[in-house]
Structure 1
Amino acid sequence: MTNKLPLGLYIHIPFCKSKCAYCDFYSMSGTNDDDMRRYTDALLLQMEDYSKAASAYRVDTVFIGGGTPTVLPVKCMADIINGIHRCFDVSKGAEFTMEANPATISPSTLSKWRRAGVNRLSIGLQSANSDELSALSRIHTKTDFEASYLAARKAGYENINVDIMFGIPFQTLESFTRTLDYVTSLEPEHISMYGLKIEDGTPFALSRDTLVLPDEDTEADMYFDGIRYLEAKGFRHYEISNFALPGYECRHNLKYWNCDEYLGLGCAAHSYFRGLRFSFKRNMGLYCDALEADISSGGMLTDDGISLTSEQYGATELIDELYTISPEERVGEYIMLRLRLSDGISSSRFRERFGLNFDALYGRRLKVYIDNGFMTYDGDSYAFTPKGMYVSSYILSNILDFDENSHIITSIADGSDK
């Protein structure tokens, strides 16, 4: 088949050397090589299961996230990468990203992954300040990060993202600016700049009342100063939290924000595939048990696609949530996700995609935000200004009627599914 559909592939690795105090992604620390081998084998079984359903697709982006993928033994990671290429039609020019913790990578493994086809790294620095790193429970130092970054360049990586955070304990506007100075001096192609969120169930949530955090005004200044700083350095602010040199926008994450199809494999992974949104249970033991027992995907996949109802599918050992997206939900999701991008929503493209008049449906509701500097309108496209991006969740909650499944879309939009 020559005219295959494009597909993003996300692989979740739920292991960490140590869990950060702010993180609510599904991951585990303190696991051993046997656990990681077992999970790898289960993941390979799941790839085989989905290879037939994805036979009409060509994978043009791959993202291995977690957790910390780089804690996996080299043999496990090699098997996963080989499995991806064996089970899916991966395009020659695919963007292939791996997340990396500076404390868990070495020059030799960087070279091995690069030779295996990984062509983009996302390295988590978070801060160049040692006190701030300690407050976040990060296990690496600034020195670790720099050594890893330089080793990645030497290994041939020409597309590197660096994650940084603002609004973290003990951070000041001055220390945040120093982190920006440091990161941009290394000349990465992409920078993700996330504000700290105190998520329920994390150590930070339990100690919320004693955390020494920047006040709201200072945190807002960090965001706006960060935007101005990075734009002055040539980065394009293309999404609420993401900045790229021209041509280096993350193609995989753009699939989420453009409502394009992607398949997520591994425990806790989310998918938008063949008209369904579904996720797998956040439990490695159940995940491995199900696949080892040949329950696999609950029997829901056949050679010609997904054949079971949502109710049957949702009752399996492996599936956490599943629902079919109604036409109305497709519109709401597109608005919610697409407005995260600096390009916003084009009324003409919206009409082409949905056959609906965006101006007539939402123009009146958006006018108050345009008049007050939270949005712009150029006669065709509606987009958030930086001020609007900072409070986008509030604005979106006012202009959209969310259904009971909106929390899944929110988690994806915020990057929790990478």
Structure 2
Amino acid sequence: MLLYIHVPFCRRKCRYCAFYSEPVGSGEGLSLWARALVADMRRRAATLGRPRVSTVFFGGGTPSLIPPPVLGRILDAAADCFSLDGDAEISMEANPDSVDASRAAGFRAAGVNRVSLGVQALDDALLAAIGRVHDRAGALRAFEALRRAKFDNVGLDFIWGLPGETPEAWKAQLCEAAELSPEHLSCYGLTLEEGTPMFRERASLRLPGEDEAAAMYEEGGALLEAAGYGQYEISNYARPGRECRHNMGYWRGEEYLGLGPAAVSFLDGCRISEPADFKTWLAAVREGRNAGETERLSFAERAEELVMLRLRTSAGLALSEYARLTGRDFVSDNRALIEELERWNMAVLADGRFFLTRRGMLVSNAVIEQCFEHIPPKPEGKA
């Protein structure tokens, strides 16, 4: 099982961000959150029978706002509540403004062994445009602090397709990032999420055109591969053996427990969504009750999720896995689509697997939606 912990606090909301978070303020809320989180963890672990946990991921929000001693107590509780693998991957998202030499060393001592640093851009004008609280120099200082703290598994997170950005500027940033030699790079295309400031201002934003965006994705990916980073998922690249094990677990369909407001769990065929409200979540934890909404996935939803998750990865979909779940043949169901995608070098069918090329990943949502059209509601004899 995977363990996800949502830290719902930020110094300030970024202009593109639609994830749930609250202002950290004086830090009182963070202290309340940490105590409630451990209490909820103990209750949920007891209910589940102290399951084995292979990865722990602190996401947010800004997990690097947690004082290292507090983070250490949370990880001690996790080791007590669950059967935590000896070589468990312990990941933490971090923002450069909350990582200095002292905090980096504290996180490492607390047990974190992998950090995803939210750089987003190495250009001060772009950082200001998207509302980040750090600058280029701060990002480089934070990375160096992590290295001095003996972190040997550091990822850098970027966003491409920002207002005013060109393919040439994006590739120049990737070259600089690769020269830093992180173990992992996440490169997400900008999405204008409803309710965010950038969504409201979308008509006035000078965003890259379709051809420019395609060049950023395809040429940027080729540049990273030439630098020794293998693309293993639509937006993720890693040195050999440094793929994020936690996220790979999601894409492989493993079960996961999510703790904290707005966290999501997937257990026993059900998706459980915690309330995206700190006070509501806190009240439920104090009362020892579940506040999350539970949804049991239908047969069609499980089949759709299988296709969607597997086609995000470079390994793609195993045809035998699709057949076991649906009782159908993926190639027969999607023959015309597969032939068209292969003709345009957007997908490959080989060795019992179907996977998208980088060009195909660029339009993965449209491809996956077409695959959904052939999934039956519930074949006879299937649970």
| TM-score band, normalised by shorter chain | over 0.9
Note if 1:8 corresponds to 2:2: yes
Following TM superposition, by how much is the alpha carbon of 1:53 offset from its aligned partner in structure 2, in angstroms?
3.0
For 1:108, which of 96, 102, 105 is the aligned residue?
Answer: 102
Note if 1:338 corresponds to 2:310: yes
The correspondence of residues 308-319 of structure 1 with structure 2, limited to 5 A, is 318-319=291-292
| TM-score where L is the length of structure 2 | 0.93
For 2:45, which of 51, 55, 62 is the aligned residue?
Answer: 51
C-alpha contact (below 8 Å) 1:55/1:89 kept by paired residues: no
| TM-score where L is the length of structure 1 | 0.86
For 1:154, which of 134, 142, 148 is the aligned residue?
Answer: 148
Following TM superposition, by how much is the alpha carbon of 1:359 offset from its aligned partner in structure 2, in angstroms?
2.5
Instruction: Give the direction of change, closer, same or farther, for the CA distance of 1:33–1:345 in structure 2 (3 Å limit).
Output: same
Secondary structure of 2:340's match? helix
Secondary structure of 1:263's match? strand
Equivalent residue number for residue 199 of structure 1:
193
Secondary structure of 1:226's match? helix
**Runs (5+) with no aligned partner, structure 2:** 376-383
Equivalent residue number for residue 168 of structure 1:
162
Following TM superposition, by how much is the alpha carbon of 1:52 offset from its aligned partner in structure 2, in angstroms?
1.5
- Equivalent pairs: percent with the same residue? 36
Equivalent residue number for residue 369 of structure 1:
341
> AA paired with 2:299?
P
Following TM superposition, by how much is the alpha carbon of 1:84 offset from its aligned partner in structure 2, in angstroms?
1.6
The correspondence of residues 176-215 of structure 1 with structure 2, limited to 5 A, is 176-215=170-209
C-alpha contact (below 8 Å) 2:68/2:110 kept by paired residues: no
Following TM superposition, by how much is the alpha carbon of 1:78 offset from its aligned partner in structure 2, in angstroms?
2.8
Secondary structure of 1:123's match? strand
- Cα-to-partner distance string for 1:237-264 (whole Å, 9 max, x where unaligned): 1100000111011110011111111111
Following TM superposition, by how much is the alpha carbon of 1:175 offset from its aligned partner in structure 2, in angstroms?
1.7
Equivalent residue number for residue 327 of structure 1:
299
Equivalent residue number for residue 71 of structure 2:
77
Secondary structure of 2:32's match? helix
Equivalent residue number for residue 389 of structure 1:
361
> AA paired with 1:268?
A
Following TM superposition, by how much is the alpha carbon of 1:364 offset from its aligned partner in structure 2, in angstroms?
4.2
Distance 1:70 1:353 in 2: 40
For 1:63, which of 44, 57, 64 is the aligned residue?
Answer: 57
Secondary structure of 1:282's match? coil
- Cα-to-partner distance string for 1:68-120 (whole Å, 9 max, x where unaligned): 01112344323322222222211001111000000011212211221222100
The correspondence of residues 116-131 of structure 1 with structure 2, limited to 5 A, is 116-131=110-125
The correspondence of residues 345-364 of structure 1 with structure 2, limited to 5 A, is 345-351=317-323, 356-364=328-336
Distance 1:13 1:95 in 2: 18
Distance 2:301 2:51 in 1: 24
Secondary structure of 1:343's match? coil
Equivalent residue number for residue 311 of structure 1:
none
Q: In angstroms, what is the RMSD of aligned CA positions?
A: 1.8
Distance 2:163 2:55 in 1: 35
Note if 1:265 corresponds to 2:294: no
Aligned positions, number:
375
Distance 2:271 2:86 in 1: 27
Distance 2:24 2:145 in 1: 27
Distance 2:270 2:92 in 1: 26
> AA paired with 1:373?
N
